[in-house]
Structure 1
Amino acid sequence: MIELKGLTKTYGRGTKQTTALADLDLNVGKGEIFGVIGHSGAGKSTLIRCINLLERPTAGEVWVDGVNLTALSKTELQQQRRKIGMIFQHFNLLSSATVYDNVAFPLKLVNTPKAEIDRKVKELLALVGLEHHSSKYPAQLSGGQKQRVGIARALASDPAVLLCDEATSALDPQTTASILKLLMDINKKYNLTIVLITHEMHVIQSICDQVAVIHQGGIVEQGPVTDVFLKPQHAITRDFMQRDHESELLLEEAALAHAGGTAQQDGRSQLVKISFLGDKTYEAILSRTVRQTGVDFAILQGTISRIKQIPYGQLTVRFEGDAEAIGRTVHELNEQGLDVEVLR
């Protein structure tokens, strides 16, 4: 659906030249919610603005729905952009226009018949839950309501792709959750491909199917959110995970310290982290396995949560008993589809 090939973007010239994106490749499948996460200055805003050529790449190609946007004329590009909606961090609404007129604006630009505009605007306002606010002005709305207007406006042209530029970073947590749910509902209803950029891992965890981690203008890690979230490979990804789960990490560090002392005392214990995914999160796999192997265990720290709609759990566990039996326990858990990492 979206393919970026060797995307490079530089600003300035000579010694003052800055590289925002460096030979970047990226593929987004049709109907996916694809997240791009990175720190400030990593290049994520430049990346998303290159997809609809609001920023024209210095080199490389941008393909959307089988069309090479970088090879189009100005007129052809304008036509293709109608297939790409975009919502912004600070809403970018017309302050002197009503909610109705903000949503109708892109339709009026292409001379859509008045009756069709009226039908479409009312349909979209109902979709985003603002059907009773059509005559209000942006100044009369909350931040979440303004973003809902922005979403409705972005959908007015029936786009195949929706780009979200830090769409929730100006919102409080409760409003963020409602906007993310709305985006997920829209994705399901219209099979709309959504690309969102953020610096918040919980946003990625809540709604994304795939994620790419951007650092210094390049993609350093990407894949299904379940893989990247549970097994981060790059230091930048691990940094995001640590920021998002500081309290859990403190508990885990305390568990490590405690287990370290116990291990030194008897030499018959091992500390492991067990990760569960999907339905296995709620199965009694651990208790069945230790009954078979004769190993005792103590749960030192644990969490159960969701990645999008997929449940997952992580336990920090101390096994106690014969070394061979502990080894057999770890092997059996791995054989049953759990991910067991020996910590100490």
Structure 2
Amino acid sequence: MIELKGLTKTYGKGSKSTTALSDLNLNIRKGEIFGVIGHSGAGKSTLIRCINLLERPTAGEVWVDGINLTSLNKIDLQQQRRKIGMIFQHFNLLSSATVYDNVAFPLKLVNTPKAAMDRKVKEMLALVGLEDHSNKYPAQLSGGQKQRVGIARALASDPNVLLCDEATSALDPQTTDSILKLLLDINEKYNLTIVLITHEMHVIQNICDQVAVIHQGGIVEQGPVTEVFLKPQHAITRDFMMRDHEVGIALEETALASADVSLQTDGSSKLVKISFLGNKTYEAILSRTVRKTGVDFAILQGTISTIKQVPYGQLTVRFEGQSDEINLTIKELMDQGLDVEVLR
């Protein structure tokens, strides 16, 4: 659906040049919600603006729905851009226009007949829950309502792709969750490909199927959210995980400190982290396994949460018993599809 090939973007020339993206490659499948996460200055805003060529790359190609946008002339590019909607961090609404006229704006640009435009605007306002606000002005709306207008406007042209440029970072947590749920509903209803950039890991966790971590203009890690979230490989990814889960990490560190005191010195204790995913989160796998192997255990810390409505859990557990029995327990758990990491 979207393919970025060798994407490079440089600002300025000579000694004053700055490279925002460097030989970046990325593939996004049709109908998925793809998240791009990175710190400020990592290149994520430049990346998303290159997809619709609001920023023209210095080198490389941008393919959307089988068409190389970087090879198009101005008129053809404008036509293809109508298939790519975009919402912004600060809404970018026309302050002197009503909600209705803001949503109708892209339709007026292409001379949509009035009756068809009216039907589409009403449909979009109903979709985002603002059908009773059509005659209001942006100044009369909350931040969440403004973003809903922005979403309705972006969808009015029936795009195949929706780009979200830090769409929730100006909103409070409760409003953020409502906007993310709306985007998820839109994705499921229209099979719309959504590309979302953010610096918040919980945004990725809530709705994304795939995630790419961008750092210094390049992708340093990518994959299914469940894999990247539960097994971060790059230091930048682990940093995001720590920022969004400081309380859980503090509890785990406390558990590790406590374990240092209680671990036996004869090698017959091990401290492990067990990760569960999907329905296994709620199954009694651990208790069944230790009954079979004869190992005792103590749960020192545990959490259960969801990744895009998929449950996952993590336990910090101390096993006690004979070394061969503990090793067998770990093997049995792994054979049943759990991820087990020996901490100490």
Calculate the TM-score normalised by the size of structure 2.
Answer: 0.99
The aligned runs of 1:174-213 (5 Å cut-off) are 174-213=174-213
Q: CA contact under 8 A between 1:34 and 1:211: conserved in structure 2?
A: yes
CA deviations on 1:88-116 (whole Å, 9 max, x unpaired) are 00000000000000000000000000000
For the residue of structure 2 that corresponds to 1:39, the secondary structure is coil
One-letter identity of the residue aligned with 1:325: E
What is residue 269 of structure 1 aligned with on the other side? 269
For 1:318, what is the secondary structure of its paired residue? strand
Q: Are 2:69 and 1:32 aligned? A: no
The 2-side partners of 1:316 and 1:200 are apart by 25
For the residues of structure 1 that align with 2:166 and 2:82, how far apart are their CA atoms?
21
Unpaired runs of 5+ residues, structure 2, are: none
Query: SS at 1:132's partner residue?
Result: coil
Conserved in 2, the CA contact under 8 Å of 1:275 and 1:340? yes
Please say if residues 4 and 25 of structure 1, whose CA atoms lie closer than 8 Å, have aligned partners that are also in contact: yes
Q: d(CA) in 1 for partners of 2:314 and 2:264? A: 25
Determine the structure 1 residue equivalent to 2:101.
101
Q: Given residue 216 of structure 2, which amino acid in structure 1 is its aligned partner?
A: Q
Alignment of structure 1 residues 218-229 onto 2, 5 Å: 218-229=218-229
Aligned mates of 1:240, 1:226 — CA distance in 2: 15
What's the RMSD between the two structures over aligned residues?
A: 0.6
Deviation string 1:10-37 (CA, Å, 9 cap, x unpaired) is 0011111100000000000000000000
Once the two structures are TM-superposed, the CA of residue 257 in structure 1 deviates from its matched residue by: 1.4
Q: CA deviation at 1:263?
A: 2.0
Matched with 2:110 is 110
Counterpart position of 1:165: 165
Q: Which residues of 2 match residues 11-50 of structure 1 at below 5 A?
A: 11-50=11-50
**Paired letter, 1:207:** I
Query: 1:152 maps to what in 2?
Result: 152
Deviation digits for residues 280-299 of structure 1, max 9, x if unmatched?
00000000000000101010
- CA deviation string 1:214-263 (max 9, x = no partner): 00000000000000000000000000001111111111111111112222
In the alignment, which residue of structure 1 is the partner of 2:89?
89
Tell me the equivalent position of 2:233.
233
CA distance in 2, matches of 1:150, 1:251: 40
SS at match of 1:91: coil
1:70 aligned onto 2:70: yes
Say whether residues 1:126 and 2:126 are aligned partners.
Answer: yes
For 1:265-304, what per-residue CA distance to the aligned partner results, in whole angstroms no more than 9, with x for missing partners? Answer: 4532100000000010000000000000010101000000
Unpaired segments of 5 or more residues in structure 1? Answer: none
1:138 paired residue number: 138
Q: Identify the range of structure 1 (263-272 vs 184-193) with the bigger mean alpha-carbon deviation.
A: 263-272
Assess if the C-alpha contact under 8 Å between 1:165 and 1:197 holds in 2: yes
In structure 1, distance between residues paired with 2:52 and 2:301? 45
The one-letter code matched in structure 1 to 2:244 is D
Letter in structure 1 aligned against 2:173: P
- Opposite residue 72 of structure 1, the aligned amino acid is L
Contact 1:271 1:343 in 2 (8 A): yes
The answer to whether the 8 Å contact 1:262/1:269 transfers is no
In the alignment, does 2:264 pair up with 1:294?
no
Give % identity: 85
Structure 1: how far apart are the matches of 2:59 and 2:261?
A: 56
Aligned to 2:51: 51
Q: Shift of the alpha carbon at 1:52?
A: 0.1
Cα displacement (A) at 1:331:
0.3
Counterpart of 2:211 in 1: which secondary structure?
strand
Equivalences for residues 303-342 of structure 1 within 5 A = 303-342=303-342
Aligned to 2:257: 257
Separation in 2 of the partners of 1:286 and 1:79?
Answer: 57
Task: Find the residue that maps to 1:53 and give its secondary structure.
Answer: coil
Q: 1:5 aligns to what SS in structure 2? A: strand
Report the Cα distance in structure 2 between the residues aligned to 1:145 and 1:107, rounded to whole angstroms: 21
| Equivalent-residue separation in structure 1 for 2:90 and 2:180 (angstroms) | 16
Helix, strand or coil at the partner of 2:263: helix
Residues of 1 paired with 2:254 and 2:320: CA distance? 18
